Amino acid sequence: MTSGTPGTTLDTATRPTDIGPFAQRNWTTPHGLPPFEQIAPAHYLPAFEAALANHSAEIAAIAGETGPATFANTVEALERAGHDLDRVASVFFNLSGSHTNPELKAVERAITPRLARHGSAIYLNAELWARISAVDPEAEGLGPEQRRVLDRYRTRFRRSGADLAPEAKTRMAEIAARMAELGTSFSQNLLADEGAFALPLESEEDLAGLPPFLRAAAASAAEERGGRHGHVITLSRSLIEPFLVFSTRRDLREKAYEAWTRRGENGGTTDNRGLIAEIVSLRAERARLLGYDSFAHFKLSDTMAGSPDRAMDLLRNVWTPAHHQAAAERERLQALVQAEGHNFDLAKHDWRHYAEKLRRAEHDLDESEIKPYLPLDGVIAAAFDTASRLFGLRFEELADAPRYHPDVRAWAVRNADGSEVGLFLGDYFARASKRSGAWMSAFRSQERLNGDIKPIIVNVMNFARAPDGEATLLSFDDARTLFHEFGHALHGLLSDVTYPLLAGTAVSGDFVELPSQLYEHWLEQPEVLRAHARHYRTGEPMPEDLLKRLLAARTFNQGFATIEYTSSAIVDMTLHLSSAGEDGLDVAAFEADALKRIAMPAEISMRHRTPHFAHIFSGDGYAAGYYSYLWSEVLDADAFDAFREAGDIFHPETAARLRKYIYGAGNLRDPGEAYTAFRGRLPSIDPLLRQRGLAA
């Protein structure tokens, strides 16, 4: 239940002083941003309690309406309800991921099961479900968007158990509450493991092989952790991955890699394996209560793929050529090890190091040669310019916007005619208070039901900060991540719908990655790189020879990258297809067996091993759905071909269709219909295989 503008007043049992700025009906800050500096951790729990009470009263009034059920008094009323709860939750959960502290963690542990019970009470409310079921779209002459909202509500209620017997409903509510507790614990355990590890580099020998940019980032990480060591490597991906690439100390690479891949399974209070066993068991039980063979069958029944078989077919179709390619890559890397006079077998902690050496040999390309041409500000400018050329957007950086951390930057986003689109926040640097990874979220979503509500979208990254006064330089993978998340941001910013339920990224899980992955394509275009890949000191463009070598190496090491990702997706699906829903699941044994059955190369690890697989265990979002990145890649590779076929990567008519049917359409249509409206047909897998260099 989402909403955008005031509905009821706050619960009078809670004093305004208890909830601080959440007592205000409208924030008068620039662009209506939350007044972060005025919000204290102590405000959240009372604000949640007041908002929950208000929302419960609103739901009771809708369910208890005595007149005939109509779209307006039932569905629209649901869409207008919950404004206070949305506002508190959007601020709290954005900060609990990007800038947490012990007080926020305690609130998170307390509130997540209560929110789950609140949601269950709504979706399992028999009187409310009866009214939703009674709305007659034909008699009311509902339009397409209204029918879509009604259909999505009915689908949500059924999938939440609205048609179950009373005792099954009770069990569904218990499962939801416990799952919320487990997901929160999983996330907090993972953050604790990531924060607890630091590999000190205390001598020049320890720093062997590290280029200047990585030494500087390791020094900044050490300073942030109190400066007890001159340089440290943390488990932030922006530090650990380049360390594995460049360090010539094989013993230190092994130590760092072991810590990175064993997050969540180190024993003690932060070990996630017991939580995973219970999560899988509860998911399987929930699916059985709803009449599905497995959680995977339940999850995929409401996706573009439609079934686990279709998703697994795609994964297998990519796995086979990737496996062959990875084997060839491994042989070339092993030969390089032997050519250096070593007699060890290539190990998981060696692959990135020797792959970089092979890339230099085969493509005359060194990552440290590329990074000076990819300063963070330059890549941000490239992402903005691409949006301007595709969609006519303008970005104006704001100096006076409230921020939840000094690192955060803010831009007002406008259309070419000057009309407001929304607000974009960028939070780019790694810190101990932030969970790992990169993501897009919203402090406020677009809608028109409650007025012309403009979105406030945030991108959160974990780039390694350069020392004060120095430019932060990105790897090409970092730059791709920025473009990816900005694609998600555009999906939220360009949303053009009436009803909150359909806004922005609220689409099928295997469709939501299309806007983000498609946007990555523009980063790799010579036209974009020539304009924006400029040396951070001289401003000179990337030399044409380096540009050609960079683009020629796009499919280098793709066997490894595809195996790393696809193995994670297969383990995720296998886990949620299996009958491993009983207590006592041996997580490590299950993972090992699943990998053995697909002949996982010994020299490659899953991109996300099960004990730290936050995508699928911090919540249900990507559970039995990690395949969706590959499913969406089929779409994005085919979609970018539309621009190639038009002969212009910024082709105006193609870009207009893209905005109307993909970036701006939210969940107005079934995803297959939306893609067909843009492309004129459903996609082919062939562009994906060419894109990854896996075509026969």
Output b/e per residue, 427-437; b: 16+ Cβ within 10 A. Answer: bbbbeebbbbb
Q: Counting beta carbons within 10 angstroms of the beta carbon of residue 413, is it exposed (0 to 12), middle (13 to 18) or buried (19 or more)?
A: buried
Q: What angle do CA 40, 423, 524 make, to 5 degrees?
A: 120
Nearest alpha-carbon partner for 321 in 6, 10, 688, 638: 688
Contact 605, 347 (CB under 8 A): no
Give the DSSP H/E element, type plus range, for residue 462.
strand 456-463
Residue with tokens 């091993």: 609
Active site residues: 485
How many residues does this entry show for the chain?
Answer: 696
3-state helix/strand/coil string of 92-120: HHHHHHHCCCHHHHHHHHHHHHHHHHHHH
Question: Helix, strand, coil: what percent of the chain each, to 5?
Answer: 60, 5, 35
Rg (CA), the chain: 25
What distance lies between CA 89 and its chain's CA centroid? 18
Burial class for 596, CB neighbours closer than 10 Å (0-12, 13-18, 19+): exposed
Q: Are strands 420-429 and 199-200 parallel, antiparallel or unpaired?
A: unpaired
614/469 Cα distance (integer angstroms): 34
Distance from the Cα of residue 86 to its chain's centroid: 20
Whole-angstrom distance, CA of residue 261 vs CA of residue 271: 13
**Sheet strands (E) in 266-418:** 394-397, 409-414
Helix (H), strand (E), coil (C) string for 12-74: CCCCHHHHHHHHCCCCCCHHHCCCHHHCCHHHHHHHHHHHHHHHHHHHHHHHCCCCCCCHHHH
